[in-house]
Amino acid sequence: MPHVTLYALEEELAGRELSLVGELTNAVVSVYGEWARGSVDVRLIGIPAGRWARGGAVVDTAAPSVTFGMREEVFAREDAAGVVARLVAAFTDAVAAAFGDGCRDEVLVELVGQPTTRSGLGGKVISNGAGG
């Protein structure tokens, strides 16, 4: 199940939730195909004013950041560089569509590979096959 988490300052996030859910889901679908739509899990995390800092100082504005969790095996595939590039571009486009193009150059996208053997679902460790 693909997991997308977007972090943004709360006051900038408010009112953009529905648009972001659609844009971020569509970003995953644009890379993986329509079959992935039903399993995309989106989390929108609003950071209250005074709780986002850079360089040791609290900031008033910050471009949103996106973390995308996926199986680490994707990074070992022959087409990994292309998949990574498409995901980074698609998530950046999604954020810019919701927040405006002015933030595009500052959007951070992190792709995090997770071994299925170190994840769990429904109280069971996920293996490369079915549960286990």
**pLDDT per residue as tens digits for the range 47-103:** 999 999 999 999 999 999 999 998 888 888 999 999 999 999 999 999 999 999 999
**2 pLDDT band (50/70/90 cuts)?**
confident
Strands 108-114 and 53-54: unpaired
pLDDT, position 125: 86
CATH number for 77: 3.30.429.10
pTM assigned to the model: 0.88
Q: Do the Cβ atoms of 114 and 72 come closer than 8 Å?
A: yes
Q: Count of domains in the chain?
A: 1
Is 70 part of a structural domain of the chain? yes
Domain that holds residue 98: 3-125
